[in-house]
């Protein structure tokens, strides 16, 4: 009985040892990573190396073997990574300042180089960031301000990408592209100046609009007056003499009836009005 028990105990221990050995010699490489096998600090081989034309499912991801304890597997990202630059001030060649925010996207295509030269992705980032910043400053500093606003046009970004890529290749990375995320006027005087310019621009526009309104209003009134004059001329021109009489009558009424204050008339006896008064025949 004891022997049987002893046997099964031994069996169990053996099984555990085998499982542990298996587990420690097997690594699962996800599709998102490449595994660099490091032996005594030296990279010896790579699992799931990035190959642009190999579809997923046929890559080296999945179960891979290693010698337990002797070999370590360092995971290196296989995806497109993001290098996000801090905002930096760029001086254009016409001495204007611009705050530029840029990013680069890169991929590690040679993880062995990365492990040897940089260590990890994070350390690579620390290496590349200052390079990106200085390349950007240099390249954009050669252009006038108006070109910086639209830096995506032209050759600037291609040049920056090429320069950064050359540096990144040393560390086993490939730069896919560099883009300007934001180009802003720096806080303080440049921004204030821009605001002031915008403001005065609008004030001018407002004044112009108001003046144009006044002008149009005057024109409309003048045209109406002219039209009215024409109408009057048409009507009264038929008999100027009668018009004179008719208008005089109107004017008298207007003056004496609706005018303010009491009027006193001194009439001569021989006025037209008193013609009949004298009993003339």
Partner 1 sequence: MAGKNNPWGGSGSNGGGDEPGDGSPEGGTGSDGGPRNPWLPGGGEPGKRRSASIEDIFKSRGPEGPRRVGGGPGGPGFRLPERPNGKSWLPIIIGGVALVWVGVTSFHFIQPGEQAVVTWLGGKYYDTLDSGTNITAPWPIHMVEKENVTQVRLEEVPGTKTEKLILTSDQNLVDLSYLIRWNISDLALYKYQLNDPTNALLEIGESAMRAAVARQKLDSVLTGAGRAEIEQDVREAMQARLDAYRSGIMVQGIEINKVDPPSRVEEAFKDVSSAQQDADAAINRSRAVAQQVLARAQGDASEFDDIYEEYKLAPEVTRRRLYYETMEQILSKTDKTIVESGNVTPYLPLPELKRRAQQPQPPQGE
93 scored as a contact of partner 1 (CB under 8 A): no
Using alpha carbons, list the distances in angstroms from residue 79 to 44, 195, 251.
Answer: 22, 43, 98
> Cβ 17 to partner 1, closest distance in Å?
19
- Closest by alpha carbon to 148, among 86, 133, 156, 190? 156
Residues 6-65 that bind partner 1 (CB under 8 A): 28-32, 56-57, 59, 61-63
User: By C-beta, is 42 or 222 nearer to partner 1?
Assistant: 222
Q: How far is the CB of 249 from partner 1 (least distance, A)?
A: 4
- Say how far residue 235 (Cα) sits from the centre of its chain: 67
Quick one: which of 267, 279, 280, 281 contacts partner 1 (CB under 8 A)? 267
Which range, of 37-45, 130-138, 160-168, 244-252, touches partner 1 by CB under 8 A?
244-252
- The structure tokens listed for 171 are 């560390």
**In the bound complex, what is the minimum distance in angstroms from residue 260's beta carbon to partner 1?**
13
What distance in Å separates the CA atoms of residue 90 and residue 142, rounded to the nearest whole number?
A: 10
Asked if 156 and 143 count as a contact pair (C-beta separation under 8 A), the reply is yes
User: Any idea how long the chain is?
Assistant: 281
Residue 217 interacting with partner 1 (CB under 8 A): yes
If one asks whether residue 188 binds partner 1 (CB under 8 A), the answer comes out as no
3-class DSSP assignment, residue 101: strand
Q: Which residues contact 46 (CB under 8 A, 6 or more apart)?
A: 34, 35, 36, 37, 111, 112
* Count of C-beta atoms within a 10 Å radius of residue 184: 13
Residue among 81, 91, 131, 162 that touches partner 1 (CB under 8 A)? 81
- Indicate the residue among 42 and 275 with the shorter CB distance to partner 1: 275
The smaller minimum CB distance to partner 1, of residues 32 and 155, is found at 32
Interface with partner 1 includes 144 (CB under 8 A)? Answer: no
Q: At its nearest, how many Å lie between partner 1 and the CB of residue 95?
A: 15
In sequence order, the 6+-apart residues with CB closer than 8 A to the CB of 37 are 43, 44, 45, 46, 47, 66, 71, 72, 73
Interacting residue with partner 1 among 15, 16, 207, 244 (CB under 8 A): 207
Task: Say whether residue 177 binds partner 1 (CB under 8 A).
Answer: yes
Minimum Å gap between C-beta 92 and partner 1 is 12
């Amino acid at each position: 009985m004891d022997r049987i028990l002893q046997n099964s105990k031994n069996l169990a221990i053996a099984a555990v040892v085998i499982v542990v050995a298996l587990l420690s010699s097997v690594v699962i490489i996800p599709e998102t990573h490449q595994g660099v096998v490091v032996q005594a600090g030296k990279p010896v081989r790579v699992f799931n190396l990035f190959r642009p034309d190999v579809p997923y499912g046929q890559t080296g991801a999945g179960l891979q073997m290693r010698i337990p304890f002797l070999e370590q597997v360092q995971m290196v990202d296989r995806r497109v990574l993001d290098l996000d630059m801090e905002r930096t001030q760029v001086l254009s060649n016409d001495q204007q300042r611009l705050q530029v925010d840029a990013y680069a996207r890169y991929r590690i295509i040679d993880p062995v180089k990365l492990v040897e030269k940089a260590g990890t992705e994070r350390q690579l980032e620390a290496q590349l960031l200052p390079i990106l910043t200085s390349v950007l400053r240099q390249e954009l500093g050669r252009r006038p301000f108006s070109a910086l606003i639209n830096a995506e046009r032209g050759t600037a970004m291609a040049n920056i990408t090429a320069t950064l890529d050359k540096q990144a290749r040393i560390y086993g990375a490939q730069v896919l592209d560099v883009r300007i995320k934001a180009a802003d006027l720096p806080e303080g005087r440049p921004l204030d100046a821009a605001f002031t310019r915008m403001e005065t621009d609008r004030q001018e526009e407002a004044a112009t609009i108001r003046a144009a309104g006044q002008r149009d209003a005057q024109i409309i009134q003048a045209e109406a007056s002219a039209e009215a004059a024409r109408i009057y001329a048409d009507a009264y021109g038929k008999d100027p003499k009668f018009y004179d009489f008719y208008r005089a009558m109107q004017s008298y009424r207007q003056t004496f009836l609706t005018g303010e204050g009491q009027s006193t008339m001194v009439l001569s006896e021989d006025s037209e009005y008193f013609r009949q008064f004298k009993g003339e025949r």
